[in-house]
């Protein structure tokens, strides 16, 4: 399968960003005096990968078509790509088809039951592009009332970059925003034909200079458990493990869960749940009041 022109352009930008972060010493080459730009030179990457300089230049310029797996693997090795970065490279080179845009996530009873059972730990059902489909009440009230936002703004990436009450909750702001952007960058090529994805990236680029800065770094990451520190306006500092797990990959549904890393955080989450305990155990984007009345 060949890659599209836009994918080849993104591939070139990704390779240039990864080349710029390496020094000759990183790949066993001697230093060659002052360099006008940081990182390896194209000819150095080409030499180490065993390909022609002209061809590698075309690859970075988005002009090379039908690169072989062997060549792509060699370039990945030279640029010291980790598994997530290597996979991203292969997708951009046409080794992974874009997923067909699917219907909105259809919440199932077992999923909403899980949200309720996880209380007092904050948990939500979200899509690959961070749309928040449903949340239990501690997640709903963790920073501000999620249900008070218009449905189209109930997206974790959008809220973290543009909504002060969410952004101010981040005690490691730059780390979290960089991670969110890197995950969007990693997943985007597989959703390049999805209008929801394209609309989100366009809006973020228009409204958030910080998103643009992180997006243009071309950082990509795989799924992993992360330690997060938040400042809840209701209960104070929370130290949690943040996990994102597939519920239904075919339907693009994930569950995100925050579990406490210490006794103080566990107690604060229990207090948060007691403070908002009059609210339904969970609510969703669609018909939240009706769903809550019948299912919580």
Rounded to whole angstroms, the Cα distance separating 97 from 189 reads 9
The CATH class that applies to domain 5-95 reads mainly alpha
**155 — phi, psi (to 5°)?**
-140, 125
Rounded to whole angstroms, the Cα distance separating 272 from 143 reads 11
Rounded to whole angstroms, the Cα distance separating 78 from 99 reads 29
Q: What does the mean pLDDT of the chain come to? A: 89
- Closest C-alpha among 201, 219, 101 to residue 158: 201
Q: In the predicted model, is pLDDT for residue 140 greater than 70? A: yes
Per-position DSSP letters for 140-202, written without gaps between them: HTSSS-GGGS-GGG-BHHHHHHH-HHHHTTBTTHHHHHHHHHHHHHHHGGGGTT-HHHHHHHH
pLDDT category of residue 96 using cuts at 50, 70 and 90: low
Instruction: Summarize pLDDT for 242-269 with one digit per residue, the tens.
Output: 999 988 877 788 999 999 999 999 999 9
Q: In the predicted model, is pLDDT for residue 185 greater than 50? A: yes
Q: In the predicted model, is pLDDT for residue 283 greater than 70? A: yes
pTM: 0.84
Q: In the predicted model, is pLDDT for residue 294 greater than 50? A: no
Q: In the predicted model, is pLDDT for residue 79 greater than 50? A: yes
Q: Which of 112-121, 122-131, 217-226 has the lowest mean pLDDT?
A: 217-226
CATH code 3.40.50.300 for 109-295: no
Q: In the predicted model, is pLDDT for residue 61 greater than 60? A: yes
**30 — phi, psi (to 5°)?**
-70, 150
Q: Where are the domains of the chain?
A: 5-95, 109-295
**Are both 5-95 and 109-295 of the same fold?**
no
pLDDT category of residue 33 using cuts at 50, 70 and 90: low
Segment holding 234, helix H or strand E: none
Mean pLDDT of 262-289: 91
């Amino acid at each position: 399968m060949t890659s599209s022109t836009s994918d080849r352009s993104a591939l070139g930008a990704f390779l240039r960003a990864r080349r710029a972060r390496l020094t000759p010493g990183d790949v066993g080459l001697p230093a060659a005096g002052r360099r006008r730009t940081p990182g390896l030179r194209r000819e150095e990457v080409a030499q180490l990968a065993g390909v022609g300089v002209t061809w590698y230049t075309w690859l970075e310029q988005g002009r090379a078509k039908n690169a072989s797996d062997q060549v792509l693997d060699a370039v990945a090795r030279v640029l010291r790509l980790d598994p997530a970065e290597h996979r991203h490279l292969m997708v951009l080179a046409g080794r992974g088809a874009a997923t067909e845009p699917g219907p909105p996530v259809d919440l199932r009873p077992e999923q909403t039951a899980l949200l309720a059972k996880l209380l007092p730990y904050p948990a939500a059902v979200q899509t690959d592009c961070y749309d928040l489909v449903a949340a239990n009440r501690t997640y709903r009230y963790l920073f501000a009332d999620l249900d008070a936002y218009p449905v189209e703004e109930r997206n974790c990436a959008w809220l973290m970059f543009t909504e002060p009450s969410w952004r101010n909750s981040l005690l490691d702001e730059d780390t979290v925003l960089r991670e969110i952007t890197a995950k969007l960058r990693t997943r985007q090529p597989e959703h390049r034909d999805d209008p929801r994805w394209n609309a989100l990236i366009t809006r973020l680029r228009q409204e958030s200079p910080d998103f643009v800065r992180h997006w243009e770094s071309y950082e990509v990451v795989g799924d992993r458990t992360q330690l997060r520190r938040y400042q809840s306006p209701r209960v104070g500092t929370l130290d949690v493990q943040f996990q994102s797990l597939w519920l239904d990959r075919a339907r693009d549904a994930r569950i995100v869960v925050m579990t406490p890393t210490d006794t103080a955080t566990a107690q604060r989450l229990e207090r948060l749940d007691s403070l908002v305990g009059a609210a339904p155990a969970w609510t969703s984007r669609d018909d939240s009041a009706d769903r809550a009345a019948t299912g919580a």
